[in-house]
């Protein structure tokens, strides 16, 4: 089984709801996920939808909740005891908080089931600065407060898309492990969205995980294939050990854009090809289980609460 630490399925739900369509999870995503043996993941809502007004954010969240309530094969995981066999287990996440009003708004989203967030998607916002900005700034004071609140709530903090200053600030404030849900190794592919050796070691020191991603420009633009992706896994294993490796594919085949994944792994239906390559390279079954699902779930369960209690 595979737990994918990053997919934009929540974004896709909102897009289709705005077009008057329902059932996209059951009709499209579930068959593809099951074909690739993807039995869970962090599903994120990326809010930069051109025809979605800022004020419509809360309506978009309602679309997501309705769709998932109508999806009989999905289990939304909010506590450690929520994981279900024979379901696709989903952590609800936010890819950037530019549309969030304040910390109280984050608490509202927690009470609606969200258990993950990146503070920024490349941009500079009220909480943090992303990797797409030239600004030499990191967490704001409000962002520091938010990190502490997320620790208190039991929400997964994701450092993918953070610039170096935000990354370091988060690691200096958080008392919980962090994840980099979809990033690769800068040493192998020097893209700004990839992680330096020092960043990788810092994530390992807090017992977090890095979800290697199937985005071609983060992997190897000259050879964007599964072999190149597993090269990043090899590198991480040699640097910090298998315990800190996960899979965060960021498949884009269902988005209305020219998607840019690996030539031989372009959708969730092909996800299990990674396992084939790991076996070919001599990874043990225990190592493969760790990379595909055990490591990510370990970190998530460390962060989640034991039971669900609405917070003020």
Q: Read off the pLDDT of residues 255-298 as tens digits, 9 standing for 90 and up.
A: 866 679 999 999 999 999 999 999 999 999 999 999 999 999 99
* pLDDT reading at 11 higher than 80: yes
- The pLDDT of 81-93, averaged and rounded, is 97
91 in any annotated domain: yes
**pLDDT score for 141:** 97
Taking a C-beta distance cutoff of 8 angstroms, is the pair 2, 211 a contact?
no
73 in any annotated domain: yes
Among residues 182, 202, 9, 44, the alpha carbon closest in space to that of 117 is found at 44
Average pLDDT along the chain: 94
Mark 283-292 as b/e (b = at least 16 C-beta within 10 Å): beeebbebbb
CATH number for the domain including 191? 3.20.20.140
* pLDDT reading at 249 higher than 60: yes
222 in any annotated domain: yes
310 in any annotated domain: no
14 in helix, strand or coil? helix
140 phi, psi to nearest 5 deg: -80, 175
91 in helix, strand or coil? strand
Among residues 170, 125, 124, the alpha carbon closest in space to that of 151 is found at 170
Q: How many domains does the chain have?
A: 1
311 in any annotated domain: no
308 in any annotated domain: no
Q: Read off the pLDDT of residues 203-238 as tens digits, 9 standing for 90 and up.
A: 999 999 999 999 999 999 999 999 999 999 999 999
Provide the residue range defining the domain that includes 49: 2-303
232 in helix, strand or coil? helix
What is the pTM for the complete model shown? 0.96
120 in any annotated domain: yes
Taking a C-beta distance cutoff of 8 angstroms, is the pair 13, 62 a contact?
no
312 in any annotated domain: no
Taking a C-beta distance cutoff of 8 angstroms, is the pair 254, 29 a contact?
yes
């Amino acid at each position: 089984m595979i737990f994918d630490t990053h997919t934009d399925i929540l974004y896709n739900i909102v897009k289709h709801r705005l077009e008057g369509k329902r059932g996209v999870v059951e009709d499209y995503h579930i068959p593809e996920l099951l074909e690739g043996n993807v039995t869970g993941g962090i599903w994120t809502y990326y809010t930069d939808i051109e025809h979605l007004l800022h004020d419509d954010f809360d309506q978009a969240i309602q679309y997501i909740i309705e769709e998932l309530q109508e999806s009989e094969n999905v289990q939304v995981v909010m506590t450690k005891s929520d994981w279900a066999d024979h379901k696709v287990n989903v952590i609800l996440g936010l890819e950037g908080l530019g549309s969030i009003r304040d910390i109280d708004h984050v608490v509202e989203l927690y009470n609606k089931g969200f258990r993950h967030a990146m503070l920024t998607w490349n941009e500079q916002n009220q909480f943090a600065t992303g990797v797409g900005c030239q600004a030499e700034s990191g967490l704001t004071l409000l962002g520091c407060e938010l990190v502490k609140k997320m620790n208190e709530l039991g929400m997964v903090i994701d450092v993918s898309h953070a610039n170096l200053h935000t990354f370091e600030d988060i690691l200096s404030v958080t008392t919980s492990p962090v994840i980099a849900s979809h990033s690769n190794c800068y040493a192998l592919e020097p893209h700004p969205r990839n992680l330096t050796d020092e960043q990788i070691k810092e994530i390992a020191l807090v017992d977090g995980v890095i979800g290697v991603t199937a985005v071609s420009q983060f992997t190897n633009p000259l050879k964007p294939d599964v072999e190149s992706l597993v090269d990043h896994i090899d590198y991480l294993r040699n640097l910090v050990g298998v315990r800190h490796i996960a899979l965060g594919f960021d498949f884009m085949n269902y988005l209305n854009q020219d998607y840019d994944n690996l030539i031989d792994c372009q959708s969730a239906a092909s996800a299990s090809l990674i396992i084939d390559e790991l076996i070919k390279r001599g990874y043990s079954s225990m190592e493969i289980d760790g990379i595909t699902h055990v490591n990510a779930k370990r970190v998530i369960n460390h962060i989640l609460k034991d039971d669900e209690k609405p917070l003020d």
